[in-house]
Amino acid sequence: MFAQTESVVVTGTWEPIPLAEADRAIHVIDTSNLHLTSNTFFDLLQLDSSLDLMERAPNGIQGDLSIRGSSFGQVLILLDGMRINDSQSGHHNLDLPIALDAISQAQILRGTGSTFYGSDAVGGVVNFITRQPEASEIRLGVAVGNFGQNEQRGVLAWVGGPLAEQFTFARDFSTGFIPDRDYRDLSLASVTHWTNQLGAMGLTLAMSDRPFGADQFYGNYPSWERTRGWYAALHQAIGKKTELEFSFRRHTDLFVLFRYDPEIYTNRHALESYQGAARRSEELGRTMSLHYGAEAYHDGIDSTNLGNHDRTWGAGYVAFDARALRRFSFSAGVRDEIYDGTKNQLSPSVSGGVWLSHKVKLRANLSRAFRLPSFTDLYYHDPANVGNPNLLPEKAWGGEAGVDFYPTARWIASATVFQRRERDVIDYVRYSLNDIWQATNFDRLRFTGVEAALRGTLARRNSVEFSYTGIHGAQGVLGTAYSKYVFNYPIHEGIAQWQASWPHDFLTRVRVGALERYARDPYGVLDLYAAWARKRIRPFFQITNATNTIYQEIQGVQMPTRSLLGGVEFKVL
């Protein structure tokens, strides 16, 4: 490798490697300098122009995520490499059972990734990496703001010999910026790292509880919803070559269409998910390696609307990776996912890179992805929507070519062109305004786009980031039908961020985002953050939507106007 060594990535690679060595478009967002100038992990997702965060409410209450124009169900969310995606509905994929203080990085793979991770990785993957504390500490924080906001959060960490333990909690409350848009968000998490005789072990235990007013979320109704989650995951390395993983997730969803008259229409859903994996890597000489493994999954749902269903599926994969002369890299892999007993989805991938000089790297990738229908896609029904139990899995081929340019040790510029061709796309469609929405497969959807980014460090620990993504989707594939989700993608999105560390530990962060969706008017949002990172007492202040922009990320769902939040963090230890 010729360029500077950056963050080590584990997302979209077969083994941990420096970011500059990756042959895919990967963005790593480090939270180490952001915990005082951010509020939730949703703030991290707003720092990449290829990610379209379609929030229904602020502060991580509920939102959909799109990458490179994908639908919200075509993005895979991971926590330390384990699936968080919800088989009931993709609307719950971002319902993480963990607070921002427990996260060290968000690693973003843009583009198809089913060879690595299986179903849902059509548009891309976001892998949240939990924090491993380096020293014992106690941090407690409180904050208040307009719209009746009040927040409490804390971190308790202990490090001793081979054991590191971190406990985090967060509680956010708001009376809402309009009626029936109140919320309460509680999350608790314990993350344990232990180096034992077998190797490194990680244990994560987490829970969340989120009741919220859902007015406008699913139509012009004064709705209310409450989601709760419980999560447990165990990672155990056996030597340097083998790793075993297991996780359990339970997620419940209580939905009331008319908040103050729940007897009219109420749904209750309870989903339980299990996953296990065994992975192994072998060195084939100094420059080549072989990676292989097997995975198993089980989802079961008990629902008043969807009924009782379960599915079990498994996968096996094998991949080859080669790197030569610190200049060339090549990897190829294939994954076979078996579901419904005899059906399967084969997901091959090939990528490569070459350093033309110590400043310029070229990279390219071609891979296939798929998505299994959610239980909502298959079985949901209400007076305005109906699922389809005969839906086929979505399939896609994605390709990209890019260049990374390192003019100095402090700066990196990158550009990528990409295309994704989809078949059997799942969407809710109707043929007149009086029809109900019906879940349907349709073909020949294509997205073509370009990404560009510039990131660098200025004097006095100032950093700036600029990124732009432009997307063109194939039009007319539905004929005279109306699409509910597919054609809500951004055709232009740009983000600029400036983060500065001033004398006397004063921190500032400015984010400007501008976005234009297909067939909708463009808008821009300005967010301002400031903090004083003193040794013990650390005040912070945030202004989100400082321009008081009136906008909707999901059509029909109003977002808050200018929001103010101020607080203080106490570093006890």
DSSP states along 190-238: EEEEEE-SS-EEEEEEEEEEEEEE-TBTTBSS--EEEEEEEEEEEEEEE
Domains of the chain (ranges; CATH) run 8-391+405-431+448-571 (2.40.170.20)
- Contact status, residue 166 vs residue 131, Cβ threshold 8 Å: yes
pLDDT band for position 61 (50/70/90)? confident
Distance between CA atoms of residues 426 and 371, nearest Å = 9
Supply 214's token pair: 């859902």
Average pLDDT of span 447-472: 93
pLDDT band for position 444 (50/70/90)? confident
- Contact status, residue 107 vs residue 77, Cβ threshold 8 Å: no
Q: Is the pLDDT of residue 4 over 60?
A: no
Pairing of strands 163-174, 183-195: antiparallel
- Contact status, residue 12 vs residue 125, Cβ threshold 8 Å: yes
Q: Give the pLDDT score at 476.
A: 56
* pTM score of the predicted model: 0.96
Side-chain-side CA neighbours of 424 within 13 Å: the count stands at 14
- Dump pLDDT digits (tens) for 121-140: 999 999 999 999 999 999 99
Beta bridge partners of 108: 27, 126
Distance between CA atoms of residues 188 and 184, nearest Å = 14
342's CB contacts (< 8 A; 6+ apart) are: none
Burial 194-211 (b: 16+ CB within 10 A, else e): eeeeebbbbebbbbbbbb
pLDDT band for position 362 (50/70/90)? very high
Burial (Cβ within 10 Å: 0-12, 13-18, ≥19) of residue 84: buried
Distance between CA atoms of residues 304 and 569, nearest Å = 43
Q: Is the pLDDT of residue 3 over 50?
A: no
Average pLDDT of span 343-352: 97
The number of beta carbons lying within 10 Å of the beta carbon of residue 412 is 20
The number of beta carbons lying within 10 Å of the beta carbon of residue 384 is 12
Burial (Cβ within 10 Å: 0-12, 13-18, ≥19) of residue 359: middle
- Dump pLDDT digits (tens) for 95-115: 999 999 999 999 999 999 999
Average pLDDT of span 370-380: 97
